[in-house]
Amino acid sequence: MKLFDLTGKRALITGSSQGIGLALAKGLAEAGAEVVLNGRDAARLALAVAQVPGGRGLEFDASDHKAVRAAVDGFEAEVGAIDILVNNAGMQHRGPLEEFPEEAFQRLLQTNITTVFNVGQACARHMIKRGAGKIINIASVQTALARPGIAPYTATKGAVGNLTKGMATDWAKHGLQCNAIAPGYFETPLNAALIADPAFNDWLIKRTPAGRWGRVEELVGAAVFLASAASSFVNGQCLHVDGGITVSL
């Protein structure tokens, strides 16, 4: 269907050397987009780019505002427009809130929310001039819910949800659609410790109506929808892809 066809569009995906970011890169490429993968580790980024047909790499630290502006502005000038941005860069750090290290809290803020602001602003400046653009922020079930041991992470993902609303409120008038995808529990490197924990694995399967972990490929449909003309009047929304975990007790 033409509504979902991304042919002729270019997408930048932050933190796409592995996990959800890499899966989305492959999925958007399959939908016709030219995909630009991003990461800080040049070697890992190169390996990821090799897995995406027609993919290219753009190495920068998404938490460094000046580096982001230089990379995005330089790419737009030398290569061409970034039509779709997926803000996927993220990290996790688990621990009791009363003992949570201050430096870990700051890293979470920088990686999970500052990156969304930095890259979102840099790309939006160009999208606004063109009167069109798609921004997809990767939120989490923790955007809406909390779980013991990850309060700072929950705070950052709540901020991603609200920043998404703010982006839509400020930029919809310029032709941009800014939305978020909130994954549930997926089999990714970020969740490796949880996957290896039999007690948590048992709890999750019982707690999730679908009765299983998600597969990263199952996020592609939501991303293609939000990146395409099919979502032309969808703005500021957070689409949960979570097997039903946020709608059940």
238 contacts: CB under 8 Å, gap ≥ 6: 139, 143, 144, 161, 164, 179, 180, 181, 182
Q: How far apart are CA 66 and CA 224, in angstroms?
A: 30
Q: Under 8 Å CB-to-CB from 196, ≥6 apart: which residues?
A: none
* Annotated catalytic residue, options 153, 171, 185, 186: 153
β-strands 10-13, 84-87: how paired?
Answer: parallel
Q: Which letter, b or e, does each residue of 3-17 get, where b requires 16 or more Cβ atoms within 10 Å of its Cβ? A: eeebeebbbbbbbbb
Burial of 53 (0-12, 13-18, 19+ CB in 10 A): exposed
Is 153 known to be catalytic? yes
Residues classed as catalytic: 153
